[in-house]
Amino acid sequence: MCYPSFGAVGSEYGVLIKTGSEGSVSITCPWTSLGRYDYTHATSDGVETCLATGDTWNMCADKKKMSFDLVSCSTKVAYASVAVSCIDSVPGTAETYVTVYNGGAVDNSTLFQFACFALSNDMTKASVAPGYCRKSQTSSSWPIDVATNNEIGGTLDVTNTYETCREYAFVLKANYIGCLCLSLLLEKVHLVK
């Protein structure tokens, strides 16, 4: 469906979910993005929101979801009035593309079933498009609607990282190796007896 030989690029892809499976398709949000952030939001028509401190973008409370504190900033960044589930992740060169699913209300005007985030690998910038990822979408510029050639969606600038909640794989490997060595040692001791 999205063959590079036909002109598709990393950001240009779609996600299909079988009806009735919506609740079981969530994945852990990309490792590089796991954290709790303060941010500012700008729309393609020049409106800037979420300028105060304390506007929280949270991927630590539930690592399979992105939540935005709609009390501190009412902008529906993910085109949803509830936390959205990460359902797909595609790594690019400078960013990672994440499709999220809205299990809440949908009106296809301001609230959409899906949205696509382009997250910079250093989590300082992001862009978001309603519906799906757009061709040539980057973390530092507004997505383009190919049909109208207009900028759409929004951009986010991360202004503060409150915490990260990334789990490091090397710790798990070290524990596994330690258990393996202990197990081998016990087997050797048993054989000596």
40 close to 52: Cβ distance less than 8 angstroms: no
Residues 105-125, mean pLDDT to the nearest whole number? 96
CA distance 14 to 12: 7
Q: Locate 103 and state its tokens.
A: 């299990």
Is 179's pLDDT higher than 90?
no
Quick one: pLDDT at residue 16?
A: 79
Q: Locate 168 and state its tokens.
A: 């490091």
Task: Express as a percent the part of the chain with pLDDT over 70.
Answer: 79
Binned at pLDDT 50, 70 and 90, residue 23 comes out as: confident
Which residues have C-beta within 8 Å of that of residue 48, sequence separation ≥ 6?
40, 41, 42
Question: What pTM value is reported for the model?
Answer: 0.81
Greater confidence (167 vs 52) lies with 52
143 close to 9: Cβ distance less than 8 angstroms: no
Quick one: pLDDT at residue 93?
A: 87
Q: pLDDT digits over 137-156, tens only? A: 999 999 999 889 999 999 99
Is 185's pLDDT higher than 90?
no
**132-167 residues labelled b (16+ CB within 10 A) or e (exposed):** bbbeebbbeebbbbeeeeebbbbbbebeeeeeeeee
